[in-house]
Structure 1
Amino acid sequence: MRTALIIGASRGIGHEFTRQLLGSGWKVYATARSESSMEELRTLGALPLKLDVASTESISGLAWQLDGQELDLAIYVAGIFGPHGHANHAPMTKDFDSTMHTNVLGAMQLIPTVAPMVEAARGKFIFISSGMASITDASNSGGWVYRVSKAALNMAIKTASLDYRDAALVAMCPGWVRTELGGPEATLTPEQSVADMLSVIESLTLQDSGSFRNHAGAHLPW
């Protein structure tokens, strides 16, 4: 039985990854912040772990919760959009800090704990990024704090891939998905997006580490 860790599984894309992997016979560790979310994940069949990626103390406790578990797959889904403003409005410090902490620092603090567990299985460590992180494709400044945070996440993934050679570390854009973050007008359902990404993930090899892909597997420009 293959083992996965979904970081940020209480709702949206993370919840759907958990559901589909369980349906395919995986053993799934799934993180959430609240007891009620953990209970719902337990009911689904997952092994819930309490984790707040915005808390360094919480992150430091993940290693003993997993107790040296080898991971065929880890997916960092946790993220927030933050302020929707453009570059003609300076972001508030608290909004900038919370967005960067969740989207970037949380991932960077978890990598040294989780990546060795993925390496032990020669597995895959996927980070949910966004096409809005692409510097090449940027066409407007909308959501510029989110854009900056995901571009920073991409750099963290790319550089970390150079240190963890026995795991495939890959940034993935899930597409525009009908979640709380994506909104009701989005073009993809969580079910469609996750099914597409799991198909791409299955095909990834160590040679793909350090790449930036969309939900259909196409390479995205940095």
Structure 2
Amino acid sequence: MPVALIIGASRGIGREYVRQLLARGWDVHATVRDDAALSALRAIGAKALKVDVTRAESLAGIGWELDGVALDLAVYVAGVYGPQHQGPMSPPSQADFDTVMHANVLGAMSALPLVAPMVEAAGGRLVFISSGMGSIAETDSGYGWLYRVSKAALNMAVKSAASSYPKATLLAMCPGWVRTDMGGEGAPLAVEESVAGMLKVIEAAGLEDSGSFHDYSGRTVPW
């Protein structure tokens, strides 16, 4: 039975990864931040654990809980958007900067060396949910300035880490504009479609693709 770890599965994209992988017969470990989500995931068959990615001591719990486990797939979904309308006409507050960068960048960079060896043990795939808003080449707006910067930084973390873990396939993935709490009700893409598309891309990826950036449709997204 293949084994997966979904980091940030309380709702939205993370929860849908858990649902679809369970439906395919995977053994799924998943992290959440609150007791309600913990109970909900356990009720559908996931092995859920409580983790706050912004706290190093909490993240370390992944290593303790999964000691000796080889992961065919790990997905870092955890992240926040930050101020909705903040742009480069004014600086971000220290509090907003810390919140976004800790969840989107520091959390991912802290989780990576914990999880990557488990993925290498299975010759698996380690995926980080990024965003098209993190593409420097395709940026044509200052909207979501802080979020854009955090996702560009995440992309660099993934790209630069790929050579350090040659037995794992590391990917940055754009899920598209998805109808979730973050994406809003007006987003054109259903979460079920987004995750199904990403899983198809992930399954097709090999070691030669490690350190690359794709969207849910399989398109290579420019850095």
Query: Normalising TM by the smaller chain, what interval?
Result: over 0.9
Q: Which amino acid aligns with 2:159?
A: K
| 1:198 corresponds to 2:214 | no
Inter-partner Cα distance in structure 2 for 1:93 and 1:83: 12
Deviation of the 1:90 alpha carbon: 1.2
Query: Residue in 2 aligned with 1:25?
Result: 25
Query: Residue in 2 aligned with 1:115?
Result: 116
Query: Residue in 1 aligned with 2:80?
Result: 80
Q: Comparing 62-71 with 152-161, which one deviates more in the overlay?
A: 62-71
Query: Residue in 2 aligned with 1:48?
Result: 48
Query: Residue in 2 aligned with 1:186?
Result: 187
**3-state DSSP of counterpart to 1:103:** helix
Query: Residue in 2 aligned with 1:2?
Result: 2
Provide the TM-score with structure 2 as the length reference.
0.98
Deviation of the 1:36 alpha carbon: 1.4
Work out the number of aligned pairs and report it.
Answer: 222
**3-state DSSP of counterpart to 2:127:** strand
Structure 1 stretches of at least 4 aligned residues deviating more than 6 Å after TM superposition = none
Matches within 5 A, 1:23-172: 23-84=23-84, 85-172=86-173
Inter-partner Cα distance in structure 1 for 2:64 and 2:132: 34
Deviation of the 1:159 alpha carbon: 0.4
Inter-partner Cα distance in structure 2 for 1:210 and 1:31: 24
Deviation of the 1:81 alpha carbon: 0.1
Query: Residue in 2 aligned with 1:219?
Result: 220
**3-state DSSP of counterpart to 1:64:** helix
Paired-residue identity, %: 57
CA RMSD of superposed structures (Å)? 0.6
Deviation of the 1:14 alpha carbon: 0.2
Unaligned runs of 5+ in 2: none
**3-state DSSP of counterpart to 1:161:** helix
Inter-partner Cα distance in structure 2 for 1:116 and 1:74: 11
Deviation of the 1:83 alpha carbon: 1.2
Show CA shifts across 1:55-79 (max 9, x none).
Answer: 1110122201111210000000000
**3-state DSSP of counterpart to 2:89:** coil
Inter-partner Cα distance in structure 1 for 2:68 and 2:131: 30
**3-state DSSP of counterpart to 1:6:** strand
Q: Which amino acid aligns with 2:92?
A: P
Unaligned runs of 5+ in 1: none
Deviation of the 1:49 alpha carbon: 1.2
Inter-partner Cα distance in structure 2 for 1:93 and 1:119: 37
Q: Comparing 158-167 with 53-62, which one deviates more in the overlay?
A: 53-62
Inter-partner Cα distance in structure 2 for 1:219 and 1:194: 17
Deviation of the 1:3 alpha carbon: 0.2
Inter-partner Cα distance in structure 2 for 1:37 and 1:103: 20
Provide the TM-score with structure 1 as the length reference.
0.99
Show CA shifts across 1:154-194 (max 9, x none).
Answer: 00000000100000000000000000110111010100100
Inter-partner Cα distance in structure 2 for 1:7 and 1:175: 19
Q: Which amino acid aligns with 1:83?
A: P
Inter-partner Cα distance in structure 1 for 2:136 and 2:147: 13
